[in-house]
Amino acid sequence: MKKIGVILMVLVSSNVLSQQKRARDYGIEIGVLKPGKNNAITDVDGVQVGHETIIEGNDVRTGVTAILPHTGNIFQHKVPAAIYIGNGFGKLAGYSQVKELGNIETPIVLTNTLSVSPAIDALISYTIEQPENQNAKSVNSVVGETNDGWLNDIRGRHVTQEHILNAIKNATGGIVKEGNVGAGTGTICFGYKGGIGTASRVLPKSEGEYTVGVLVQTNFGGVLEINGVPIDKELNRLPKYSQYEGDGSCMIVVITDAPLDSRNLERLGKRAMLGLAKTGGVASNGSGDFVIALSTAKDNLVANKSNSSFNENKVLRNEQTTPLFLATIEATEEAIINSLFAAETMTGHNKHHIPSIPTKGIIEIMKKYNRIKD
């Protein structure tokens, strides 16, 4: 890329990477449970998130988001996991082995639809190049995607292995950048600019003080509601279903430190779809809505090899999972709404223009319904 292109990319990237206001900054408090310190997926101890944002010229608006469930060697210390399919119009890689064995052995990568292949390759490279994994001859890369082809020159396939590896390398804990970053750079949600969003919930001490964190890549349609308020109805934006353009996708990653097995993690994933529904999402015919759910409980990590024939761990009983279900629903709903508040208006491929949500008008509507906390 020419020097001027590099300068443009840096300038635009620095703009979209600025931390935007979130729902709670406007007094919108979703649910009844308390969020964690950062109200982010990284509130689960050890979880890290990294972005690689690719903005070049007038047509390239895409990127990569990597989620690391813990700071160790994930291949050697696999994470109990499950994947729930809300609607399967998507290209999620790695599903069958997770379904069969109930664990994940790589970081999770989110990107665009036509970049799943380089992400798979990058995760293989990342895994086999670690010294402890020198004998690894099979790697199950987990890669999710949504289609950013309206704002991004998706056919140009601009995401490379280097981008994926950089996202993994740059992953950190703490505050997670949202909106037009990483895999959310070119996404659209409810007809507005979508992107990356995150939120968390911490259960009270009486329920175990477990944390549930959620990260979303929002690129789907429906009839927008915020905290129960019918925003699209108030804005007179109801779609004509004979000409409905609500197709899209949403990737949802749910991580908890509660000791759950893959069966109950799948049940957790189902509840994340309830959180999506509470925002007005409809999981339309052409939407790929996938939930990847993991437990990072340290005593329940799955050793790649062991001298014992048994896994020895404790998992929560079924009747102890309901508070975690509620936490997942609330955190998913808020993560989606945060992705909208954090996103900024964008013009991209073929001069396609997508506005950000009309924040001022939405806040006035929320006040009308008495849903703003002073």
Q: Give the residue from 297, 218, 285 showing the smallest Cα distance to 256.
A: 297
Q: Is the distance from CB of 73 to CB of 133 less than 8 angstroms?
A: yes
Please count the other Cβ atoms lying within 10 Å of the Cβ belonging to residue 322: 11
- Are 198 and 204 contacting, i.e. CB atoms less than 8 angstroms apart? no
Rg (CA), the chain: 20
The answer to whether 185 and 54 have CB atoms below 8 angstroms apart is yes
- Helices 116-128 and 161-169, axial angle in degrees (round to 10): 60
Q: What is the three-class DSSP state of 80?
A: strand
CB-CB contact of 28 with 336 (8 Å): no
Q: Which two tokens stand for residue 55?
A: 């903005």
By C-alpha distance, which of 221, 319, 316, 333 is closest to 271? 333
Give the residue among 198, 203, 210 at the shortest CA–CA distance from 174: 198
Alpha-carbon distances of 280 from 130, 184, 337, 352, rounded to whole Å: 43, 19, 11, 24
Q: Record the tokens describing residue 110, joined without a space.
A: 């989110």
Q: Which residues are catalytic?
A: 249, 287, 289
